[in-house]
Amino acid sequence: MIKTKQLFAALTLMILGLSSAHADYTLNLMQGVTELSNDVYDLHMWVLWICIVIGIAVFGTMFYSIYYHRKSMGHKAEQFHESTTVEIIWTIIPTVILIAMAIPATKLMLEMDDIQDSDMTIKVTGWQWKWEYEYMDNGIHFFSTLDEASNKARQINSGIDPRSVPHYLLNVDKPLVVPINTKIRFLFTAADVIHSWWVPDLGWKKDTVPGFINEAWTSVEKAGTYRGQCTELCGKDHGFMPIVVIAMEKEDYDEWVIEQKGEALAEANAAEKEWTADELIAKGETVYTNNCASCHMADGAGIAGTFPAITASTIVTGDMNAQLDLLMSGKGMMPAFGQMLSAVDFAAVSTFIRNGLGNKVGDLIQPSAIKAKQSALPEDEDE
């Protein structure tokens, strides 16, 4: 009896906690901001109402029979066997119901796979633990990673209250930007393990599988910012792999494209200039925090038996070329950063770990040298 009371009290507190923590929580499916998401919602409501009617009919009949034909009213159980007519009826009716649900469901599935007449194509590649976006029509290409504020707050003993971080774990440094009222074809793949790209407002999600290409499409009807996450258990930092899609008016999107091309040109120019050690170390600390600290820890101490320490590492303090090759190609759970980081970021973080986190090697590597190494990567690794 005491355990029952304790369980009841715990459930009550849990329900009260959920209601206070999720004031905007609703039971129904969201409608989204695309034609597909609204079609999915309409199908959901159609099937839901069918289930409600069935539930009312079945349970209503059952409860009516139990109440009005109970033993206390003098009723006795009838002794009879199967009825061919009844069996035919309860076979035909469910069949008709299933067909009534299957026809619109099949139509919607065909609609979701119809990528014809797309206006633009975006390739999405999942990495541990970030997203790579490549606009196939205009050459824009970048990686999207958990934003710095969320990344700092999530670190062990950070001392930062996650509630003070806007859109904690649901914000990125570089969002995917798309124009509204444009049919966009997506190509999905992965570079390491299976990921799953999911933005609820778009009405669907798609797995990204190494060695395979999955397709989907969308056309966002309303400008705004829409957030999602990876929904596949892709590794230790699975929970820190958000997605942010910003839908813009076409005029604003065209301006963004121009800005991105300008930034790409500036980045290319930055890779050609001579950087001082202080400049590289300062920039490298930020790159390390965003890409390396979750495994090797903010102080470079690593995690014994799992992730090696950066501090006093024989690889980091030894031959620079060996270190660069390891970072470039990756090993084990460490991804190939040669494909993920720009030449400037790669040179900066390489210089930082050799001259920070307790290491004092005293050398540096210029972005121009990294750019040469990246251009020499085999073509199949650079895709």
Residue ranges covered by each domain of the chain: 29-58+84-114, 120-264, 271-375
Taking phi over 0 as left and psi of -120 to 50 as alpha, with beta for the rest, 81 belongs to beta
Contact between residue 173 and residue 241 where contact means Cβ atoms under 8 Å apart:
no
Least trusted range by pLDDT, from 108-117, 123-132, 153-162, 200-209: 153-162
- Of the ranges 9-13, 114-118, 186-190, 240-244, which one carries the lowest mean pLDDT score? 9-13
Query: Is residue 382 scored above 50 in pLDDT?
Result: no
Mean pLDDT (whole number) for 222-241: 92
pLDDT at 11: 55
- pLDDT higher than threshold 60 for residue 230: yes
Q: How is domain 271-375 classified at the architecture level of CATH?
A: Orthogonal Bundle (1.10)
Residue 18 has pLDDT above 60, yes or no: no
Question: pTM of this prediction?
Answer: 0.80
The pLDDT value recorded for residue 186 is: 97
Residue 259's alpha-carbon distances to 135, 275, 285, 309, in angstroms, are 14, 24, 26, 39
Task: Tell me the CATH number for domain 120-264.
Answer: 2.60.40.420
Which pLDDT does position 135 carry in this prediction?
A: 96
Q: 185, 112 in Cβ contact below 8 A?
A: no
Q: What's the mean pLDDT in 11-27?
A: 51
Residue 129 above 50 pLDDT?
Answer: yes
Q: Which stretch of 6-15, 119-128, 192-201, 369-378 has the lowest confidence by average pLDDT?
A: 6-15
- Enter the tokens of residue 237: 């930092």
317 pLDDT tier (thresholds 50, 70, 90): confident
Q: How confident is the model at residue 180 (pLDDT cuts 50, 70, 90)?
A: very high
Angle (nearest 5°) at CA 360 between 342 and 155 = 60
Kindly report which listed range (81-85, 325-329, 375-379) carries the lowest average pLDDT score. 375-379
120-264 and 271-375 have identical folds: no
